[in-house]
Structure 1
Amino acid sequence: MAPDYDILVHGNNLRLKDDFLGIANVTLVQTGEGPLLFDTGGYVSRLGLVKALAVRGLTPDDIRLVFLSHLHFDHAHNVDLFRRAKILVSRSEWDYAAAPHEKDLFMPWGIHTQLERHDLELIEGEGQLSNRVGWFPAPGHTPGCYALRLDTDTRGTVVLAGDAIKYAKEAIARRCDMAFDTVERGTASIRRILEMAERIVPGHFPELIRQEDGSFLWDDAAPFDLRVR
């Protein structure tokens, strides 16, 4: 079975003057071997994630595999919902979380303790989840960022980039915008993804689609249904 995917939580790159309102994309992947969740999002999208799963006839306990692109709070906080899932995260990100960059304020406290409650596998290098779903390192934003490559039948080669490509600005400029590793490594990761992908699901932006001239554009606006109560 060819893999396919569905964005459960739609990310955005909104921010305040000194803080962020941004929400990370959370993507459900159907691999033929059961559903896989790419990132789990932060607490701000916790209820919406559970609702999105329910709309698709799923509960958190139906998810048996979670792939975390990296361990920042907005991508990994909700991992505790998935008690029956095996968790994949890179060994380099695991090590980085123990001693993050001095300016990296986004690593949640207690993340090691939380992940150790799960069936945890630390991955290295490049690898395959199936013959058409593979992982690869995409460092820059953090040293341990990883991405997934899906070879689909209907949408071509799709890269779930996490924060290796956070938003369209990085794809257009072909340069890393926020690096807790190095800008150079982040830029190399961006360029690698742009070369391989026909579609990209960024960390905090609508899906990017390759155009005939090789550039990437997006069709949909990111929804932000803000309500005051």
Structure 2
Amino acid sequence: MNFKLDILCNAFPGKSNISALGWSNVVLIRTKDRNILFDTGAQGVRPNLLNSLKNLSVGPKEIDTIFLSHLHFDHCGNASLFPNAKFIISETEWKYATTEDDIFTAAESVEYLKNRRKIMISQDGEGIYLGMKAIFTPGHTPGGMSLVLDADNEKWVIAGDAVKNRIELSTEKVDMSLNDEDSKQSISRIKNTANRVLPGHDCWLRIENYKVVPEEKVQVEISLPKGMQGGKNGVFKLVVEK
């Protein structure tokens, strides 16, 4: 492979009755001369995001390209942390985010992006860098995009919210889509393209003989303030097994 890939912030495929969790995958792709982010996560993950970059000896100013799958708060909320980056966005998504009312659109980030360097993708399958191309995967939003990577003899797809989790990839039925039929077609396209898929809110999934196989369990911990009772010693572990 001509790239190295690290997940900086891990996703979780759950919901809360209090608010949208917004725990999505943020991915760093490093090539010989590029540091590329796929999405930037929600503002709440900022400490983890910056710490993960630090552990890989990559500073925010060294990120030169950010591929934004779409412009919801949990996928572009940290755009302003990367002053030297150019942003890759679909032309359709930009128009949607700047003209339509969507409660999940990150208005603050969209305003910031208005004055930043942007590459607007208008052609499906447009090449980004060597071995990387953008494909249109609408449904969740009208201008959603996924990134296809050439990984030796495989195709890897980082899907954003075109596919949010393993259930959507398996059944091709989605939750929270503006157009269910578009979402179904996008998921079918991803399944027919990829050997391996990283959804917006789940772990890596491998497609084997038309079956979706999670590569690992997904786990998060929620800690209570010291002295409060609940969970095990004040810690709740949320686990999705393989």
Q: Same fold (TM over 0.5)?
A: yes
**1:192 is matched with which residue: 189, 193, 200?**
189
> Hey, what's the Cα distance between the residues in 2 that align with 1:118 and 1:108?
15
> Hey, what's the Cα distance between the residues in 2 that align with 1:202 and 1:17?
22
> Hey, what's the Cα distance between the residues in 2 that align with 1:96 and 1:61?
29
For residues 183-203 of structure 1, the C-alpha deviation after alignment (integer angstroms, 9 at most, x for no partner) is 101110000001110110100
Contact (CA 8 Å) 2:79, 2:109: kept in 1 or not? no
Q: What's the CA shift for 1:148? A: 0.4
Report the secondary structure of 2:95's partner residue.
Answer: helix
Moved beyond 4 Å, runs of 4+: none
C-alpha change, 1:123 and 1:35, in structure 2 (3 Å) is same
Q: What's the CA shift for 1:22? A: 3.7
Aligned residue pairs total 224
Contact (CA 8 Å) 2:80, 2:109: kept in 1 or not? no
> Hey, what's the Cα distance between the residues in 2 that align with 1:18 and 1:188?
31
Provide the residue aligned with 1:78 in structure 2.
78
> Hey, what's the Cα distance between the residues in 2 that align with 1:31 and 1:194?
26
> Hey, what's the Cα distance between the residues in 1 that align with 2:93 and 2:31?
24
Larger Rg: 2
Matches within 5 A, 1:42-191: 42-100=42-100, 104-125=102-123, 126-153=125-152, 156-180=154-178, 182-191=179-188
> Hey, what's the Cα distance between the residues in 2 that align with 1:112 and 1:41?
14
- Larger RCO, structures 1/2 (Cα 8 Å, 6+ apart): 1
Q: What are the ranges of 5 or more consecutive residues in structure 2 without an aligned counterpart?
A: 226-242
- What is the aligned-residue RMSD (CA, Å)? 1.5
Q: TM-score, normalised by structure 1?
A: 0.92
Q: TM-score, normalised by structure 2?
A: 0.88
Q: What are the ranges of 5 or more consecutive residues in structure 1 without an aligned counterpart?
A: none
> Hey, what's the Cα distance between the residues in 2 that align with 1:177 and 1:16?
14
